[in-house]
Amino acid sequence: MAAANDVETANAYAHPETLASTDWVAAHLDDPMMRLVEADEDVLLYDLSHIPGAVKLDWHAELQDPVERDFVSRKGFEDLVSRKGISNDTTVILYGDRSNWYATYAFWLFKLFGHQDARIMDGGRLKWEQEGRPWTRDSPELLATSYTAREPDLSIRAFRDEVFWQMEAGRPLVDVRSPPEYRGELVHMVDYPQEGAQRGGHIPGARNIPWSAAVDPHVGTFKSAAELHQIYIDQHHLDRKEPVIAYCRLGERSSHTWFVLMHLLGFAQVKNYDGSWTEWGNLVAAPIERDMLGTGGK
């Protein structure tokens, strides 16, 4: 029989303070210490409608370095969030489409640069809409702030050499893409243009746990702590104490799984490999496994 504290851990999120309910957000729309930030895969959605007071964060145009394949610099991040009216002591609530893919991606970047109070609105746009809550097309009036970011926290970001070391050591790698991508049948998501990598497959030894396993598809919310425990720990045998690296194609879906493992299940060390398959699938002499028979992850 499991110990009482083990049962309690399995039935409660490790860091519930990193989630905000739609009820909480609705009650704090006029809170000057809170800033809603919408980050979508479909960057046109914000202009069609958004939660009152929310600002838009364009993952492609604003979060990426315009020349190098990398995120904005520390200075670039400071300038960006200052323009959004965000201070170091602002409570940042992130939400978006696709069960918060890019909201967790932006959350990960906020944590990379050391923002203290960042949260995900559980359910994102889908749940807000289903509950019949208000939308607007008006953009908020913003006063620029003076924001100071920290040096990037590389304890949550993996680079390719670390992935090689993780693979060679036999430590957990989690491929959060769809099974056809994992098997090597596709190099992009289903129903998307097949571009971005010269080879399909997965990193040797990686376990396929699609990001979508963590959410209720009907309302877009995260599954309960007990359900997440069953998926990641009971079924796929991940250990909270062992370092884990998650990856997808660009790092956005794996940021979702990073959030689940790190903040909802309380894993000690999880890194997001944002180079992901667009880097690994183009690397010369990088080992690749394929599972064209559909036998699934390891």
Q: Which residues are designated catalytic?
A: 248
Q: What is the four-CA torsion angle of 100, 277, 162, 285, rounded to 10 degrees?
A: 180
- Which helix (H) or strand (E) is 248 found in, with range? none
Q: Give the whole-angstrom CA distance, residue 54 versus residue 47.
A: 11
Q: How far apart are the first and last CA of the chain?
A: 27
37 phi and psi, to 5 degrees?
Answer: -130, 120
- Which helix (H) or strand (E) is 95 found in, with range? strand 91-95
Residue 266 burial (CB count, 10 A): 14
The residue type of 272 is N
What 3-state DSSP class applies to 96?
A: coil
Beginning with the edge strand found earlier in the chain, give each strand of the sheet holding 34-38 in spatial order: 19-20, 118-121, 91-95, 34-38, 55-56
Q: Give the whole-angstrom CA distance, residue 17 versus residue 2.
A: 26
Strand partners, 173: 245
